[in-house]
A and B are shown apart, each in its own frame.
Chain A
Amino acid sequence: MSNKKNYGMVIDTRVCVGCSACVYACKSENGIPEGYCRDWIVQETKGIFPKLTMENRSERCQHCDNAPCVTYCPTRASHYAEDGTVQINRSRCTGCKACMAACPYDARYVHPEGFVDKCSLCQHRTEKGMKTACVSICPTGSLNLVDFNDPKQEAQQLMNGKLVYRQKEHAGTEPSLYWISASNKPGA
């Protein structure tokens, strides 16, 4: 196996409390303008009182291996990076929003300066060996940055024996974000 990275995330919704520390950490790390964010919290409650279930999730760009945003970008601003992530080259971006229409995860927004922006998986940090801002701050340890090329197979170890899903797999996007379901029994 080469030294090439293939980054993604394993997100443990069993412990996520939806506190939004990840959102604020991202906003200050990446200088996101007021009113916008690159990651966000979903709190999903199902059932009828008093039989209820809940899942909290910190969502963001899924850094798909088969990314519709890359396919549909007319200027090749959206592209696959060497580290397995999807990135945007701002100088090529015309703000046409084709990528936003194509993205099944609604992960992008138009920056007030005219280009489209989204989660970069903190490439400026990972390339220096640091974890993303959201992973670093997360008090519950719900967020895990993983390298699928890692010989120690950290991602597999995190997910082993648990109910894990990917979002909208039917879209064929091959997302790099894996979710440990909140419906797992304790200690699964």
Chain B
Amino acid sequence: MSHGQNFSRRDFIKISSIFLAGSSVLSYGAMQAFSSHQSTISGEFGEKVIYSICEHCFWRCGIAAHVRDGKVYKITGSEHHPLSQGKLCPRGTGGIGQLYDPDRLAHPLIREIKGGKQYYRKATWNEAVGVVAEKLYKTSQVYGPSSIAMLHHGFGVSFFKKMLSEIGVNKIAKPSYDLCCGPARQASVLTYGYPSDTPEGFDMKNSKYMIFFGTHFGENMHNTAVQEISEGIRRGAKIVVFDPRFSTLAGKADHWLPIKPATDIAMIQGLMHVLISEEIYDKAFVEAHTVGFGELWESVREMTPEKVSAITDISADAIRTVAREFAFHAPAAFVHSGRRTNWYGDALQRLRAILILNALVGNFKMPGGVVAFKKFPLVQPPAAHEHLAYEKEVYSKYPFFPNDEPSNTIASHEIVQQAITGEVKALVIYGVNLPETMTLGRKTAIEALEKVDFMVAIDVLPAEVTGYADVVLPECTYLERYDDLDNGRAFRTPFVALRQPVVPPMYDSKPGNQIAKMITDKWGLHGVFAPTVEAGLNKKLGLIGSSLEEIKKKGVLVMPETDLYRKPGEPLNLNTPSGKIELASEQLKKGGFSAVPIYTAHPEPPSGFYRMLTGRKPMLTFGRTANNRFLGDLATAKENEVWVNQGIASKHNITNGEYVHLKNQDGVISEFPIKVKVTERIRPDAVYMVHGFGHTSAKLTWAYKRGASHNQLITRTEIDPAMGAVGFQNNFVTFIKEANA
């Protein structure tokens, strides 16, 4: 840790294990939960089944938790929930590994200084929330509400957002916007007039031709999407994958095109060139429903397959073939926008390029093409206090940052920077392990955490971030609490789902809804929250003619299937300035950006270095699952590996299975070694490693020192000047053999 910084208000503290679940008197002993030694096979019968929603990723599938003798022994997919349809991904099954994690935070903690030494002491809830309430209130009074910011990740945050709004604080960021879905969201707003959603708006199961850029379903276990792609494959759909790596999805593809990294916009321009120059695009659709075609054509006129081939390392023939097949199968064909869409500083334009490519073949609101799923129309009860002024405030300096998302009013890297400059004095961190979140790399994150006057961490596990907090508040897991109603997911059958406790909170942990209420009560603001979370939920459900009792039974209320497709001759009436699909965007032009996507070259790796690409394993979701022993039990889940092309491995004299350290272009060397996977499955100019390993907190006794941290090796970022996303794929690494490390 960088204790030598010139101005560090706080040191990182290793939380003493006596404050963690492992040594708590209430400890249940994690292993018993899933290594039952009973010799008779358990029947499933007679056990209690409770329907709720998962929290292992943002998809929030419906789960059925099976409880026997007061313990959750397995989690399966809810047959009632539209996103799971009885099925579940491996992470979803792994909830028991989080619930019974012996490393869980067991008590509230308060930072103390004695004899110049900083340490945590166990506190009562009353004391801990008292400190938080006082510090936040005073900071707000002395420096104004915009000196307080919240970073959040997870569905339980709604209560804390509401709590902060009571003292006028609405500077809130979800790092997933910057790192993951932001560009897709804003590209959709600018091009189609509405934000992209989860699940993404593609009619996968009815599609005949699906093109993917880099996104790797199958390793990304987004349950519904994987179900629908599988259905598509069974029905005969063809898959095309542009990816420097032979991903699992590439393994299913008719065409795997190992594109040179960082050249996707050129490829999309080349595909557009073929569609237009060969006149195989949907002319009638483009004429009736789009604007800016002329400008678009001018921008791709020179991007012939031959020219694009030289940039992308994909043959001109293959480019023509894909474009022609795409046009042939359209409108039951699409190019998927992907999920983690922030790669370089031009993510918004890359995503716009994808949406424009779709528009050219007229697949908009057509079977098998681009569709807009609907959300369940939930009625919001009137707020106890009106705070319209700051509810609508956007703090981001980026011109195309969302202005319609109250849970995301500033980019997370802007908060990190403001913490460093002193503009932000107090941080509330809900479920974000900042030192291992890709916002601006580890070093900058730690600098920010050390500089703020006050920081409270609300978390389940002693993740690295908790060691920088002044107060640590242990939240119980998603299996032990109610959260707000979930109508945030759009689908074929709109639905609202319930998160409900499956078992009572273990140790001295509490649900977020209670923690937030305790803090507003300390402020003397009674009536912000309903007297109980159940009463609040019941009231909301009453507004739609249902009740808590009713939704508890199946965990979800589902509407009939909506009509996703447009009718012939129907105007689109989109919420764009033109009312049409904007191939060229006047809004972007007015903001000083290119109206159409234009390829620009990105930095190349220095000699002997390789572009560091990242992704995930199907059974892990980065921080959420890092310390999950149940999921970590499989050999394939225990550590991350660095994928190295066979030829490159020979050049560096490294062999399959050996451990190396990685060194990046700025000389940062991975703290821990990483196992080498020598493979044909990756281009020679790139390496690949799964994010979320190499944890430095010894209190994460499972995750500690497993694999190497991808985040540590990020020292360069490119921020999208239009919408504020962070690209970090211009980091390059080389290998240091163990003996030389």
List A residues at the B interface (Cβ < 8 Å): 12, 14-15, 17-21, 23-25, 27-35, 37, 41, 43, 45, 47-50, 52-56, 90, 112-113, 120, 123-125, 128, 130, 133, 136-142, 182, 186-187
Contact = CB atoms under 8 A, between A and B. Distances in A.
B234 A14 contact: yes
A130 to B, nearest CB: 8
B218 A17 contact: yes
B34 A34 contact: yes
B42 interface: yes
Contacts of A21: 87-90, 92-93, 221, 618
B443 interface: no
Contacts of A112: 37
Interface string B25-43: 0000001001111110111
Given A113-B39, A128-B45, A31 B34 contact: yes
B432 to A, nearest CB: 26
| Among all A-B residue pairs, the 6 with the closest Cβ atoms | A187-B236, A54-B251, A17-B218, A31-B36, A28-B74, A19-B618
Given A17-B248, A29-B74, A45-B251, A113 B37 contact: yes
B236 A142 contact: no
Contacts, number: 174
Interface stretch (B175-183, B345-353, B627-635, B667-675): B627-635
Interface string B585-629: 000000000000000000000000000000000110000000001
Nearest to A53: B251
A23 B634 contact: yes
A60 B523 CA distance: 59
B238 interface: yes
Contact of B218 (A19, A52, A55): A19
A158 to B, nearest CB: 10
Contacts of B231: 141
B34 A140 contact: no
A23 B636 CA distance: 12
Given A35-B633, A43-B248, A90-B39, 16 more contacts: A18-B618, A19-B89, A20-B637, A21-B221, A23-B634, A24-B94, A24-B631, A25-B74, A33-B35, A45-B251, A49-B683, A136-B86, A139-B88, A140-B226, A142-B230, A186-B237
Contact of B246 (A12, A20, A54): A54
A52 B45 CA distance: 46
Interface string B245-262: 010111110101010000
Contacts of A48: 680
Given A27-B34, A29-B74, A17 B236 contact: no
B89 A139 contact: yes
Nearest to B94: A24
Contacts of B230: 15, 139-142
A52 B77 contact: no
Contact of A49 (B34, B43, B258): B258
B681 interface: yes
B680 A120 contact: no
Interface string B500-527: 0000000000000000000000000000
A147 B233 CA distance: 24
Interface of B: 31, 34-39, 41-45, 73-77, 86-90, 92-94, 96, 217-219, 221, 223, 226-227, 230-231, 233-239, 246, 248-252, 254, 256, 258, 618-619, 629-631, 633-634, 636-637, 645-646, 679-683
A47 B77 CA distance: 36
Contact of B233 (A14, A25, A45): A14
Given A20-B636, A21-B89, A90-B39, A15 B234 contact: yes
B680 A45 contact: yes
Contacts of B218: 17-19
* Central interface residue in B223, B633, B645, B682, by most chain A CB within 10 Å: B633
B40 to A, nearest CB: 9
* Central interface residue in A29, A48, A125, by most chain B CB within 10 Å: A29
25 contacts: A17-B219, A17-B221, A19-B90, A19-B226, A20-B619, A21-B88, A24-B619, A24-B630, A25-B88, A27-B630, A28-B93, A29-B44, A31-B34, A31-B35, A34-B35, A49-B681, A50-B256, A52-B681, A54-B250, A124-B41, A124-B42, A136-B76, A138-B87, A182-B251, A187-B235
Given A28-B93, A28-B96, A20 B74 contact: no
Nearest to A180: B234
Nearest to B633: A34
Given A15-B233, A27-B34, A139 B221 contact: yes
B618 A37 contact: no
A23 B634 CA distance: 9
A47 B248 contact: no
A124 B38 contact: no
Contacts of A142: 230
Nearest to B209: A186
A27 B628 CA distance: 15
A137 B34 contact: no
Contacts of A30: 41-42
Given A19-B89, A33-B35, A137-B88, A52 B256 contact: yes
A120 B41 CA distance: 10
Nearest to B635: A40
A139 B680 contact: no
B246 A45 contact: yes
Contacts of B248: 17-18, 43, 54, 56
A20 B634 contact: yes
Nearest to A50: B258
A48 B646 CA distance: 10
Contacts of A55: 251
A29 B72 CA distance: 11
B636 A17 contact: no
Given A34-B629, A128-B45, A142-B230, A56 B251 contact: yes
A32 B223 CA distance: 25
A26 to B, nearest CB: 10
Contacts of B37: 31, 33, 112-113
Contacts of B630: 24, 27-28
* Central interface residue in A23, A30, A112, A113, by most chain B CB within 10 Å: A23
B177 to A, nearest CB: 26
A30 B354 CA distance: 45
